Chains A and B, each alone.
Chain A
Amino acid sequence: MRIDELKIDSEMLYSGHNACPGCGAALAVRYLTKALGPNLAIVLTASCWSIISGMPPLTALKCPILHCPFPSAGSVGSGVKRGLNAAGHDDTTVVVLAGDGGTFDIGLQAMSGAAQRNEDYIFVCYDNEAYMNTGMQTSSATPFGARTATAPYPLFKAGQKKDIMQIMAAHGIPYAATATVAFPDDMESKLKKAQAIKGFRFIHILSPCPPGWGTESSDTIHLSRLAVSTGFFPLYEIENGVTWKMTHYQGEKKTPLKEYLSAQRRFKQMDRQRMEMLQHEVDHEWDCLMEKVATSPSE
């Protein structure tokens, strides 16, 4: 599918924004604002988007953006939604936008609190798998084996990537979904579905980062697609924490993970043994996911 084929309203990301060429996060927000706009308010925490959004009074988006301190996004979102309700703007969609640091790490407590209260907004995590705005430092979303500025060669990220989707599913929120920039139609339908639901909704968007991942800016979509076809980042949705559904399923035969890893300089020094360990982990996660989908209660 081509982006100009998308039956979505209008462009809300202005040209001239401050993203690097090939930035997955810029693309992700372009799609999400198109899908959810125009009656939109964005709460934005410290992340690459703090820069991408432009230097006030300039702005990169055709909707209000409220910046907030790094750990606070989940709580500020609660306040903005409730404040807009008090002002009579009940129909405005509030989106909290955070990177993986602002979601998996420093923002986890505020997000968990808001999810537990079932606050009525959409939390969007654009995940580029490290602190990219400060220059590629390890986060708990960084995959096993990746080299980062805080795990330089011969070090590597030792632990597995935190399973944020299971954490959010465990909160029993009405809706959670994964998405990535190579599948805008999938992303759009999830966002539209989320928008129609009341309560806390979580969208996890894998957003390739050319300078951080060590890839060409023209490879963003290719990598996003490989992340899905290898099973590294499956596309699915979870309703009420219990009903797991695949939204893009490529059958049993997945692309070998090595193809995805060897396309990125952050995995350049990863030896065969570690690649196999990660492949094993991805296979295991995939099997667990299939099991959850198979045993999900029917609607």
Chain B
Amino acid sequence: MAYEMLSGSQAAAAAVQRAGVDLVAAYPITPQTAIVETLANYEAKGELGGDFVSVESEYAALACCYGAAAAGARVFTATASHGLAYMHEVIHWCSGARVPVVMVNVNRAIGAPWCLDPDQGDSLSQRDTGWMQIYCSGAQEVFDTVLQAYVLSESLLLPCLVVFDGFYISHTYEAVDIPEKEKTLEFVGEKRFKPQVVPGNPVNLHGLTTGDNQILLVRNRHESMIKALDLFKQVNKKFEGYFARSYKAVDSVIPPGSKTVFVAAGSTVETIRWALPGLKDCGLIQLRMFRPYPAEELCAVLEAHDVERVIVVDRNCSIGMGGIFSQELKAALYNMENPPIVEDLLLAGGIDLTIDMLHRVLETTAEGKNADQKWGVDVR
């Protein structure tokens, strides 16, 4: 075990450096900048082991990754907020083209007005683009997930977005176990995908097709992504063998007799975990994997513990509907025999989750008009 004090951003960069990438395309945006800066420092010291290109926009960064991955390269880029939104077209394209791009998104609110706080609306806006999405709750998890993302992405030929909160994770230093590169390279392994662009092979890649073909391609992509639920388990089993730790798509801490469970993704998980001993009859579910959506695993956990009340911490809001994680959870619970009540704690704008807030939410009831939606500003 070799622990280093690293921020979440540095942990992400350290994982990329240890994943054997061929190309990093870089463009700065707060709060992600430290990732590409750290990678640039590896490059400056001759330690990156791949190509590093500073491009003129986030759009260009992902487009460059697309081209390189199509030519068979293992690639990486990172972004946040407006940068992710600006990439939107290429985000779709990468998934449709089945290139295994790994990208980090550091959550930050999208304007107007300008706001730097870690609203999750940026990554959640890319929900339907055909990328896997994994939400991390700390720097160690960031490091480990980036490594795992390459295995998932290359195995399924689907791009993967590794997500964590701006500042709370990106700029917070933690002790992170950074294994030897030799070992991480062995874990990630040789590239599992073939190049699409091969000189001398006259193929017409991703040109015009019909809806009749497109539906088959979409179904194929959907079925591939569903496989990530099982693959995530296998990958983590292997990961545990290498590094003596592992993760689940749905993690939970639910003490016996818990009536209420908080469901969270990202750094709020750690706040709740810390507060849990002081919260009466409460448990915690960490939703780590968001795409594919682990509906069965979630329902199984809730059913096993006979949970009556679920409070979803949504650091986002789909305007006109509510918290996105809670909407997804409600949809997943539709087939449950005795589903729990689902309430939403909205921290849209990226506001901090405090322990006081958790206590106050627990004191409220779920009765009355719109009582299932509580805004963080009203309960802090």
- List 20 other contacts, CB 8 Å, given A56-B207, A68-B63: A39-B199, A41-B197, A53-B204, A54-B207, A59-B204, A65-B207, A66-B67, A67-B204, A72-B66, A72-B89, A75-B61, A78-B55, A79-B25, A79-B64, A80-B70, A81-B67, A83-B73, A85-B51, A110-B57, A112-B56
Say whether B198 faces chain A, with CB atoms less than 8 Å apart. yes
Contacting pair B73 A39 (CB below 8 A): no
A16 CB → nearest B CB, Å: 13
Q: How far is the CA of A43 from the CA of B207 in the complex (A)?
A: 11
Would you list which residues of chain A between 44 and 84 have a CB under 8 Å from chain B? 44, 50-51, 53-69, 71-72, 74-84
Contacting pair B207 A50 (CB below 8 A): yes
Would you list which residues of chain B between 49 and 79 have a CB under 8 Å from chain A? 50-51, 53-57, 59-61, 63-73, 75
Q: How far is the CA of A69 from the CA of B67 in the complex (A)?
A: 11
Contacting pair B207 A55 (CB below 8 A): yes
Would you list which residues of chain A between 112 and 161 have a CB under 8 Å from chain B? 112-113, 116-117
Taking CB atoms, residues of chain A closer than 8 Å to B67 are 43, 66, 68, 75-83
Q: How far is the CA of A77 from the CA of B53 in the complex (A)?
A: 13
* Sample of 9 A–B contacts (CB below 8 Å): A38-B200, A65-B204, A68-B63, A72-B63, A75-B60, A80-B67, A82-B71, A86-B50, A86-B73
Closest 10 CB pairs of A and B: A79-B67, A83-B71, A113-B56, A83-B68, A75-B63, A59-B204, A72-B63, A79-B68, A75-B60, A76-B67
Say whether B247 faces chain A, with CB atoms less than 8 Å apart. no
Q: How far is the CA of A89 from the CA of B71 in the complex (A)?
A: 10
Contact of B59 among A64, A75, A80, A87 (CB under 8 A): A75
Taking CB atoms, residues of chain B closer than 8 Å to A53 are 204, 207
Say whether B90 faces chain A, with CB atoms less than 8 Å apart. yes
Contacting pair A56 B205 (CB below 8 A): yes
B residues touching A (Cβ–Cβ < 8 Å)? 22-23, 25, 50-51, 53-57, 59-61, 63-73, 75, 89-90, 93, 195-210
Q: How far is the CA of A251 from the CA of B340 in the complex (A)?
A: 86
Known: A72-B90, A86-B73, A112-B56. A66 touches B63 (CB 8 A): no
Contact of A82 among B68, B90, B206, B208 (CB under 8 A): B68
Known: A40-B199, A67-B206, A86-B22. A109 touches B55 (CB 8 A): no
Q: How far is the CA of A81 from the CA of B73 in the complex (A)?
A: 11
Taking CB atoms, residues of chain B closer than 8 Å to A69 are 63, 89-90, 93
Taking CB atoms, residues of chain A closer than 8 Å to B195 are 83, 87
Contacting pair A59 B202 (CB below 8 A): yes
Contact of A74 among B53, B60, B89, B93 (CB under 8 A): B60
Q: How far is the CA of A83 from the CA of B193 in the complex (A)?
A: 14
Q: How far is the CA of A32 from the CA of B51 in the complex (A)?
A: 29
Contacting pair B205 A64 (CB below 8 A): yes
Say whether A92 faces chain B, with CB atoms less than 8 Å apart. yes
A181 CB → nearest B CB, Å: 23
Contacting pair B208 A64 (CB below 8 A): no
Taking CB atoms, residues of chain B closer than 8 Å to A43 are 67
Contacting pair B209 A56 (CB below 8 A): yes
Q: How far is the CA of A56 from the CA of B197 in the complex (A)?
A: 14
Contacting pair B68 A55 (CB below 8 A): no
Q: How far is the CA of A53 from the CA of B71 in the complex (A)?
A: 20
B75 CB → nearest A CB, Å: 8
Known: A79-B66, A87-B71, A110-B63. A59 touches B208 (CB 8 A): no
Taking CB atoms, residues of chain B closer than 8 Å to A72 are 59-60, 63, 66, 89-90, 93
Contact of A55 among B51, B53, B205, B208 (CB under 8 A): B208
Contact of A86 among B23, B66, B208 (CB under 8 A): B23
Contacting pair B66 A87 (CB below 8 A): no
Contact of B205 among A62, A67, A84, A109 (CB under 8 A): A67
Contact of B200 among A39, A66, A82, A87 (CB under 8 A): A39
Contacting pair B197 A80 (CB below 8 A): yes
Residue of A nearest to B22 (CB): A86
Contacting pair B69 A83 (CB below 8 A): yes
Taking CB atoms, residues of chain A closer than 8 Å to B210 are 55
Contacting pair A54 B204 (CB below 8 A): yes
Q: How far is the CA of A271 from the CA of B50 in the complex (A)?
A: 59
Known: A66-B196, A110-B59. A61 touches B68 (CB 8 A): no
Contacting pair B72 A86 (CB below 8 A): yes
Q: How far is the CA of A38 from the CA of B200 in the complex (A)?
A: 7
Taking CB atoms, residues of chain B closer than 8 Å to A84 are 71, 197, 199
Q: How far is the CA of A176 from the CA of B221 in the complex (A)?
A: 42
Known: A61-B202, A66-B206. A86 touches B71 (CB 8 A): yes
Taking CB atoms, residues of chain B closer than 8 Å to A87 are 71-73, 195
Contacting pair B199 A64 (CB below 8 A): yes
Known: A55-B208, A83-B71, A87-B73. A68 touches B199 (CB 8 A): no
